[in-house]
Structure 1
Amino acid sequence: MNSRAEREAKGRRGEVLAAWYLRLKGWRILARRVKTPRGEIDLIARRGRTVAFIEVKWRTSASDLDHAADPYRLRRVAAAAQAVGHRYAKANDLQRIDVLLLAPGHWPRHMANALML
C-alpha cells in the first residue's frame, strides 16, 4: 500500500503534468494548490475570458479514472472557487470547474464544465 507521502508526491507530479498540458492547449496557469477553508483547488487557469478551477486526478490505471472525480469533490472545488474566484476572474469572465484526468501511457482527458458556476 502506498503511504500518504507517496500518494501526495504522485498527486503533485500529476499537477505538474496537468499544468504543462494546459499550457500546450493555450491556458495560462494563474495559481496552484489554492487552499481555502472550504476546500482546495489544484490549478486555476485562464484562456481568453474563461477562468477554470481545475481538479486534477492522477491514477496508476486509466480504468480507475472513470470514478476519480465524484460529486462530493467537485462541490468542494466549487465552494473553494466561489471563495476565491473574485481574485482571478474579471466581471464578465466565464468561471467553470474542470477536471483533468491523468494516467501513465494515456493522453490526458480534460473534462470542461464538469460543474458550472
Structure 2
Amino acid sequence: MSRAQAERRGRRAETIAAWWLRLQGWRILAQRARVPGGEVDLVARRGRTVAFIEVKQRATGDSAALALDQHRLRRVAVAAERLAPRFQRPGDDIRIDAIFVIPRRLPRHLPNVWLG
C-alpha cells in the first residue's frame, strides 16, 4: 500500500471513529491535533471527560491491538499533555482512549488505554 493510500485509509478510519463517538454522545473538539512531539487523531468531550483518542484501522482486532504499542501511546500521551490546556476546563477528567476500526464490524472504543 502506498503512503497516499495509507493516508486516505487513516483519514477514513478517523471519520468513522468521529461519527461513532458522536452517536455515543461525544462532541469532537479536534481532528489530527498536532504539537511538537506528537499528534492526536481525535479530541472529544462528553460531559466532564476530555478524551485524546488514537484511531487504528486494521483487518482484525488483534492486528489493531498490536499496532497500538507503548511507543505510539507515549507519543499520544506527550501530545495530550501539551494539548490539554487548550481543551480542558477546571474539574475535567483527561484520558487517552483508542478506537479500533475493523471491516464489517462496529468500531470498538477502548477507554483509558494509557495509564502511564
Q: Normalising by structure 1, what TM-score?
A: 0.94
- Of 104-113 and 17-26, more deviation after overlay is shown by 104-113
Cα drift, residue 37 of structure 1: 0.6
State the alpha-carbon separation in 2 of the partners of residues 81 and 11 from structure 1. 19
Q: Residues 95 and 116 of structure 1 are in contact (CA less than 8 Å); yes or no, is this contact kept in structure 2?
A: no
Describe the superposition over 1:2-58 as per-residue Cα deviations: whole angstroms up to 9, x where unpaired.
Answer: 001100100000000000000000000000001111100000000000000000001
Residue 113 of structure 1 aligns to a residue in which SS?
A: coil
Number of aligned positions between the proteins: 116
The residue aligned with 1:11 is: 10
SS of match in other structure, 2:89: coil
Q: Which runs of 5+ in 2 are unaligned?
A: none
**Structure 2 length as normaliser, TM-score?**
0.95
Residue 22 of structure 1 pairs with residue 21 of structure 2: yes
Question: Which residue number in structure 2 is paired with residue 75 of structure 1?
Answer: 74
CA distance in 2, matches of 1:65, 1:84: 25
Q: CA deviation at 1:60?
A: 2.7
**Root mean square deviation of aligned Cα:** 1.2
Q: Is 1:42 aligned with 2:35?
A: no
Partner in structure 1 of residue 52 of structure 2: 53
Letter in 1 for 2:110: M
User: How far off is 1:62 after superposition?
Assistant: 3.4
| Runs ≥4 residues deviating over 3 A | none
8 A Cα contact 1:102 1:108, kept in partner: yes
